Chain A
Amino acid sequence: MKLAYWMYAGPAHIGTLRVASSFRNVHAIMHAPLGDDYFNVMRSMSERERDFTPVTASVVDRHVLARGSQEKVINSISRKDEEHPDLIVLTPTCTSSILQEDLQNFVERASLSSESDVILADVNYHVNELQAADRTLEQIIRFHLDRARRQSTLDRSVTIAPSANIIGIFTSGFHNQHDCRELKRLPGESGVSVNQVIPEGGYLKYLKDLPRAWFNIIPYREVGLMTAAFFEKEYGMPYISITPMGISNTADFIRQIEKLVNVWAFALAEERLNYKLYIDNQTKFVSQAAWFSKSIDCQNLAGKEAVIFGDATHAASITKILVKEMGIRVSCSGTYCKHDAERFNEQVQGLCNEVIVTEDHTKVGDTIARIEPSAIFGTQMERHIGKRIDIPCGVISSPVHIQNFPLGYRPFLGYEGTNQITDVIYNSFNLGMEDHLPNLFGGHDTKKVSNKSLSTDRRDINRTPEAESEPSRIPGFARGRVKKNTEVFAKQSNILEITIDVTYAAKEKSST
């Protein structure tokens, strides 16, 4: 057992439900006790979903505990049949995993009488939400394609014009809807059409046409890679797993498209496409991010420190943007995607001083408190950590609140995405002069210096009243740093009480 207050990624069944309910006319039945259908609330609330979430529970209660589910699951499945879904996904939860009932047997029995297809989601409590989503998506696709192949309804001829599938856009994903619109536009403008987007809004009956696309696009590392690997192995379809987030990543992404399109274009029509001009134009005129990096505003950001935490895709991309495109120092970059740690390390290598891979938010909090950056880019949890220690935070990754499902157009991907990200970053740092001038003159308010600290290993050192008031004369963004330096200096020189003299001595020492 471990003591836990908060988790970044949910349990496995949430991932399965997210994928299943993103497809159209797919119904999920959870084998779960009363109250575990919490997913319906999340989807209905955070995404302001207009339709009933196609998820119900086959309730596990005291009787099930005593006698087993018996006919209950099968009855639940055949009742859902009345609504004529194309597919019913039986979803195990933590509880049912421990019960170890033979759910596969129920599925087989139910599918004899059911008009819908019935499958058992191949997930268990060892994986988290994201891994489960990845696996369930692959499972549904494989199920339908294998059957189409058996029934020889599979159309394997590639489309005449270049086309791509976008895989991994789904419900409750961070800005997924907006990213999807931007992603459709990105290849679209250069003559590559979108064959299908899955799972969001996808119909199962069209899945058999997925192999007609020339290649697959996997915008987020967390979900879709297994499906892409399946297509590559079984159908020889290449895929792009570069996330087009930030100017250079987007350019890489388009170059990759160019490469993949040209393989076929050359074979079919003996012509090559060249996207260099497109990239140049977009970078110069559509995206303002490149110009912003050169502007005076961005100069003020140079050398400021930031800490980044989030899922592997967003944390890695934002780290790259901050360091390479804006000249901001990233002291620490981290992710909670432990299963993808190796790749994450590789991505952010050389871009930051420190890499942190953890699922424990108190560790992240302590790291932030220790570093005291000028801004944090993280999840809602980091936003709250920032609030407590008075450091601004931009939210760049799930888990998020309802406020991160904006109605307005806010993609993170593509060229419009670069503009949005620039705004998020720039607005998160305190504006240079606004912050600097009032503090230089002692501030407009008499707010006390925040003594709250998340760092646990801090020894208490006395401060004389004069020394106590000293930090308020230091500009806010540097205040924490100076205070800490003084304490470290005091510790090193075995000084038990910090006076003003000690403060200045510490400053002298650190500036030499």
Chain B
Amino acid sequence: MTVRKNQSALTAEEKRRFVAALLELKRSGRYDTFVTTHNAFILGDTDTGERVGHRSPSFLPWHRRFLLEFERALQSVDATVALPYWDWSVDRTPRAALWAPDFLGGTGRSVDGRVMDGAFAASTGNWPISVRVDTRTYLRRSLGGGGRPLPTPAEVDSVLAMATYDMPPWNSGSDGFRNHLEGWRGVNLHNRVHVWVGGQMATGVSPNDPVFWLHHAYIDKLWADWRRRHPGSGYLPVAGTRDVVDLDERMKPWNDSTPAELLDHTRHYTFDTA
């Protein structure tokens, strides 16, 4: 059974294997298909039209399915690998071990944002940015460059306290847990972390930075935490909602699973915490 661990608890060997599996997916071309899929949904999901991956109730089950697909790809390279998660409310500075050269590498240099160390630095030749929105082919970051700090534990807690999963109009204007976690409204959790990292993570091709998976693995864990805290609250909407994925409707692009089928993560993996 896959156990997703806090990235801060990984051993040197676990980090080494995770990084090696990422590099092999990149080398084989499979990694970039995930970047392409994500950007297609970023461009296609709109508040007034069909919306599946973002700004909608299915933001959480869609990314759970997307991460499962990615984790299975990693495991096809190395069966011992699981996605770690990054609790950015605790490991909240560029000095965190997450950004050390033996793991994801650090922030970008000031002149052009280019990441200069770690396995994903352009100078290694192993991490070309191929699916891109501008001509720059090197991984970029500006950790904390926007000036706004990462969310605090208290801010996370304030969102976990929201008892209703989602609300009409089921988009970036909604009240409720999903949209506050996604960050279009309120204290802003998920969106703010993308902005804090900067570089490609702030764009539609954000999975170009491997931290994308660790960020979303933690967002996914917060959904699991929320479900345990609110056992009487279910996924909404349940049926008949135009442009929105209802509880028992299949999600693109896989068309093989519904939000209802993805509510229980323990069918696929567990977390290192209870």
Specify whether A and B are partners: no
